[in-house]
Amino acid sequence: MSQFVFDPPVQPFAPVHGGGAFPVRRILCIGKNYADHVKEMGGDAKTDPPVFFTKPADAVVPSGVVVPYPPGTDDLHFEGELVVALHRGGRDLKTREEAGALIFGTACGCDLTRRDLQAAAKKRGAPWDTAKAFDSSAPIGPIGRSTEFPPRDARLVTRVNGDIRQDAMLSTMIWTVPEVICALSGLFELRAGDLIFMGTPAGVGALNPGDHVEVAIGDLPKLSFSIGRQA
């Protein structure tokens, strides 16, 4: 008989392109990883380096769903991002080769953000959790299997209601995928099932109920979702 005093939560997962489910252990995110986005937020990448934050594993939502407009905000923003999925773990990784050995595949993601709560948190020097780690805050498209690093010349394009809002080369990321994996592995023990949201380029903006978001990166399967009424 189980010792659990109630049924444990269902394992969150992200669909894999071509079949199968990627069990999500944790969601690690990098902010301020594109200079033009740091600039549009009023900062300077030279003096304001990238930062890490997290979302709970059960914040993932698959492509093709309606994401309810979250409570507690009047300024929900989209952030189109590359997502890296790990099928192996490690600690204190130092080299590109060591980092590459962890990669299961990559996907298109969206780091949904309560921008008003983030601005208030920044002002107070308070944590970002309510701005970033809310329910359904991590839509992710089907994971494309590839043990290679994503091509640096691939474009990340975010469309809202068909209009292009973000368009950037992955090569404009400040910290590269292997650099981020190595840095994270010095702060956390990385494990199979970890997802890494790699940060967003310029062009972020507000979403309203009824809006349709599409994130495309190179030839990866697209992420697409709509915003619904407040939950």
Kindly list the residues in this chain that would bind Mn ion in the complex (CB under 5 A). 79, 111, 200
Q: In which element (H, E) is residue 87 found?
A: none
69 or 197: whose CB is closer to Mn ion?
197
Tell me whether residue 172 or residue 192 sits nearer to Mn ion (CB atom): 172
Q: Which is nearer to Mn ion, 101 or 172 (CB)?
A: 172
Nearer to Mn ion, 113 or 224 (CB): 113
For residue 128, the minimal CB distance to Mn ion (Å) is 10
Buried b (16+ CB within 10 A) or exposed e, 172-189: ebbbbbbbbbbbbbeeee
Q: How far is the CB of 67 from Mn ion (least distance, A)?
A: 16
* Number of residues written out for the chain: 231
CB of 199 to Mn ion, least distance (A): 5
Q: Which is nearer to Mn ion, 79 or 214 (CB)?
A: 79
Residue with the CB atom nearest Mn ion in the bound state? 111
Minimum Å gap between C-beta 4 and Mn ion is 34
CA distances for 1 relative to 8, 11, 85, 88, angstroms: 14, 20, 34, 31
Read off φ and ψ for residue 173, nearest 5 degrees. Answer: -65, 140
Backbone φ/ψ region at 160: left (φ over 0), alpha (ψ -120 to 50), beta: beta
Q: What b/e sequence results for 113-140 when a residue is b if at least 16 CB atoms lie within 10 Å of its CB, and e otherwise?
A: bbbbbbeebeeeeeebebbbbbbbbbbb
CB of 10 to Mn ion, least distance (A): 26
